[in-house]
Chains A and B, each alone.
Chain A
Amino acid sequence: MSAELTIKSGAAGLGCPSGLEPGAPDVLGEESALIDPAPFVRRRNGVSELELAVFGAKCAGCIAKIESAMKKLDGMERARLNLSTGRLSLVWRGAAFAPRMVMQALTEAGYRAAPFDPAAIESDHDTEGRFLLRSLGVAGFAMANVMLLSVSVWAGGADMGPGTRGLMHWASALIAIPAALYAARPFFYSAWNALRNMHANMDVPISLAVILALSMSVYEFFAGGEHTYFDAAVMLLFFLLIGRYLDHRLRWRARAAARDLLAMQATTARRLGADGVIEPVAARAIEPGDRVLLSPGDRAPVDGVIVEGESHADVSLVTGESAPRKLRPGDEIHAGVVNSSARLVMRARATVENSLIADLARLIEAGEQSRSRYVRLADRAAALYVPIVHTLALATFLGWWLVFDAGVRASLMTAVAVLIITCPCALGLAAPAVQVVATGRLFKRGVLVKSGDALERLAEADTMVFDKTGTLTLGRPTLTNREALPAGALEDAASLARVSRHPLSRAVVEAAGPGKAAEGAVEFPGLGIEGVSGGERIRFGSAEWVGEVERVSDGDGAALETWLRRGEAPPVRFVFEDAARADAADVIRQLSDRGLSLELLSGDRKEAAAAIAERLGLPAWRAGVSPQDKAARLGELRAAGARAAMVGDGLNDAPSLAYAHVSLSPGTAADASQAAADFVYLGGGLEPIAEAVDVSRKARRRVLENFAFAALYNACAIPLAVLGFVTPLIAALAMSGSSMVVTLNALRLSANGPGGGDSAERSP
């Protein structure tokens, strides 16, 4: 019990009120919050190393608290928390203490943590981001210095002699050429890859513009010409690299956050050796035939068969059923099922890769393929833009050369000016800048966005499909007939229930609040709890067991119920149901106000689904739907031309999450579902869904505004360039000006402040 209390106070945040702290203890259970990290410790040269994801650390106080708690462990050599990523890396001497102590100390300090798999850390270095940043640094250096020289040429004008101008050009060339060749590599690689696969992307005209601008400038310089485009080439690269880096960082951060969440899931298991020794191992290491110990709160790591013990299990993540299922020796248990009441031993029948999850993974893959056909807004714009620009530049060259007889050199210079001035700087910044701001804003509200185009797809959604158990509802039973109970019954039941971990017992304890557990109470698995109070026997359990004969015919199973009987008095009925989340009705109304048509797809019984649909005002619902049927329903919607967003948390939802146009999943969801979803929202409510819809719609509007601006800018600049009026000075002003306008427009998205859904009305 004491473990539960400390975790509860930890979830409250201890002065770090962060919406990012997933309300997980109720789902993961107390036991799994204390995962034994032993299998993830690396030992080398007499030191042990461990990396953990720490949740909830937000400020300097958190750093101090966590690091000093770690340093109190004897033998700890290094403990450093990275606040940006939430990683805590620990190094200690030899085997100075058990790795479990680390988790205990963190829990006592009020933080939840999960160990990282060392294999995953190795592939963790952000080499691409470093490459882009180095390129950006070089481009920035070159731009500043070349601009210094260029400005003096422009300002010098007629006063500057050809000799001085030559010196300036010579110095510019010396800086710009190596710098541009270095900094343009990301674009060259990508353009080359695209061309090799016989299609053109945005990087083709960029590379072409850079190469042409550089080579024409070199030629001009030797021919003694007045204008060179060295500054334009490096400036172009600088702005484009900013956009590229923002885009990369967006994806990187989302991926890292998603990985942290996955680390929270049951990554370890306790293997029971032949000699009865319990050994903590990584879930991946479980082989068919191994015996695995499942304490209450543990999640089955693989498919298997129960060999020992009798208990109830929470299968809601696997099938969507809200009622606990009884497990006896010989029963099958699927990966992802959470044991809820008594100790179980299972024999593994498959490895992690071959468990139920693997079947669903195949469905997920099929769904993701259908989604990968989505073309981003920016790419759609580029597909229109690239041929037009190339045709224009070519036409300019041919026109000046053949029609106006301007000479090859002058015609080529004009054509290069067209290519440079139309280069998609603003276009390259337009989408990433908006998406960085939008995801940053959502991140603060506890929504992780897996990719930039997820925002675009959510903005397009016109239908939203919900799962029931664990998504619209809490995913665990709550007491509903509290008012109807006679005085004292709830207290009696709660004092018995405190000795049990059965979901219904927990619901009773939750309803009654803190109190004492009955002394000498004994739990009979599958039946109930018995205790003695005031000289009378009290039983709390199934109807048959307490002797409520009339209700033994438990045929329909419509309601979840238990009975309390004191002595020979008539039994009292306790009714439970999987209650809707507190803000569900509210959020459902908000979403339908936003023009989304809503639907409920549940794997649960008809009565349960109908009751929730009616209470929340969902017009359409289906019950008893299998995972395949869910995916098929989303296929139907797609075929009918609807763009459906799917919200779900169970393994049974994972295929449909992948088939949907866009998908959302709570932070408490099964890992396969989180992997398949585009958005993962944390915290106990549904409100982040409405927020995500709002922000993504606003982001889409900003992106379109930016594109419109880029188009307007081109409409003004292209005629000038085609007619040959554009000088390097004008090109430089136009490029930096348009990039700045686009970025400022993107920043407006965050200027609306933390206001929730209502801020949509404030912006014009």
Chain B
Amino acid sequence: MTGLLYLIPIALFLGGLGLAAFLWALRSGQFDDPDGAAARILLDDDLADEDQDKED
């Protein structure tokens, strides 16, 4: 049972990592445009070359 002494902190740390990631995502606007994010993966090829340069 002594394994628990480090297993519980590890579990908590991993959970905390997930929570921190969620809060970061929330703060940095990842949830601002869910529909757009899903659609944008299909883009890029349609843009003309000059537009892609501007994108950078």
Contacts and interface: CB of A to CB of B under 8 A. Distances in A.
Interface of A: 59-61, 63-64, 68, 71, 81-85, 130, 133-134, 137-138, 140-141, 144-145, 148-149, 161, 164, 167, 171, 175
Given A64-B47, A145-B11, A85 B18 contact: no
Complex A-B, nearest 3 residue pairs according to Cβ-Cβ distance, in ascending order: A83-B36, A60-B39, A60-B42
A145 B12 contact: yes
B23 to A, nearest CB: 6
Contacts of B16: 141
B8 A149 contact: yes
A63 B18 contact: no
Nearest to A148: B11
A144 B18 CA distance: 11
Interface string B1-27: 100100010011001101100110010
Given A71-B51, A83-B33, A145 B42 contact: no
B-side interface size class = 20 to 34
10 contacts: A63-B43, A83-B35, A84-B32, A84-B33, A84-B34, A85-B33, A138-B19, A145-B12, A145-B15, A167-B8
Contacts of A167: 4, 8
A148 B4 CA distance: 12
B19 A141 contact: yes
Contacts of B23: 134, 137
A161 to B, nearest CB: 8
Nearest to B54: A71
A205 B16 CA distance: 30
A140 B20 CA distance: 12
A82 to B, nearest CB: 4
A369 B8 CA distance: 55
Contact of A59 (B11, B18, B39): B39
A297 B51 CA distance: 36
Interface majority SS on A: helix, strand, loop or mixed?
helix
Contacts of B4: 164, 167
Residue of A130, A145, A161 contacting most chain B CB atoms (<10 Å):
A145
Contacts of B31: 133
B15 to A, nearest CB: 5
Contacts of A137: 19, 22-23, 26
A149 B40 CA distance: 41
B46 interface: yes
A64 B32 CA distance: 18
Nearest to A129: B31
A228 to B, nearest CB: 16
Given A63-B43, A64-B47, A145-B11, A82 B19 contact: no
B11 A82 contact: no
Contacts of A82: 32-33, 36
A51 B31 CA distance: 19
B46 A61 contact: yes
Contacts of B1: 161, 164
B46 A64 contact: yes
B19 A68 contact: no
B18 to A, nearest CB: 7
Contacts of A134: 23, 26
Contacts of B39: 59-60, 63, 83
Contacts of A130: 26
A84 B39 CA distance: 10
A149 B48 CA distance: 56
Given A71-B51, A175-B12, 13 more contacts: A60-B40, A60-B43, A63-B40, A63-B43, A64-B46, A84-B32, A84-B33, A85-B33, A134-B26, A137-B19, A137-B26, A161-B1, A167-B8
Nearest to B46: A64
Nearest to B5: A167
Given A130-B26, A164-B4, A84 B42 contact: no
Contact of B15 (A64, A68, A141, A164): A141
B36 A81 contact: yes
Contacts of A148: 11
Contact of B26 (A60, A84, A133): A133
B29 to A, nearest CB: 10
A144 B12 CA distance: 10
A81 B22 CA distance: 24
B31 to A, nearest CB: 8
A149 B51 CA distance: 54
Contacts of A161: 1
Contacts of A61: 46
Nearest to B47: A68
Contacts of B15: 141, 144-145
B35 to A, nearest CB: 4
A63 B44 CA distance: 10
Nearest to B27: A130
A372 to B, nearest CB: 32
B10 to A, nearest CB: 11
A167 B6 CA distance: 12
Nearest to A62: B39
Residue of A141, A167, A171 contacting most chain B CB atoms (<10 Å):
A141
A93 B38 CA distance: 30
A83 B32 CA distance: 10
A63 B48 contact: no
A208 B8 CA distance: 30
A63 B36 contact: yes
A696 to B, nearest CB: 25
A731 to B, nearest CB: 22
A140 B23 CA distance: 12
A64 B35 contact: no
Contacts of B26: 130, 133-134, 137
Contacts of B22: 137
Nearest to A130: B26
Nearest to A152: B4
Residue of A60, A138, A140, A144 contacting most chain B CB atoms (<10 Å):
A60
A144 B11 CA distance: 10
A171 B8 contact: yes
Nearest to B22: A137
Nearest to A141: B19
A91 B51 CA distance: 16
Contacts of B35: 83-84
B6 to A, nearest CB: 12
A60 B1 CA distance: 54
Nearest to A83: B36
Contacts of A138: 19
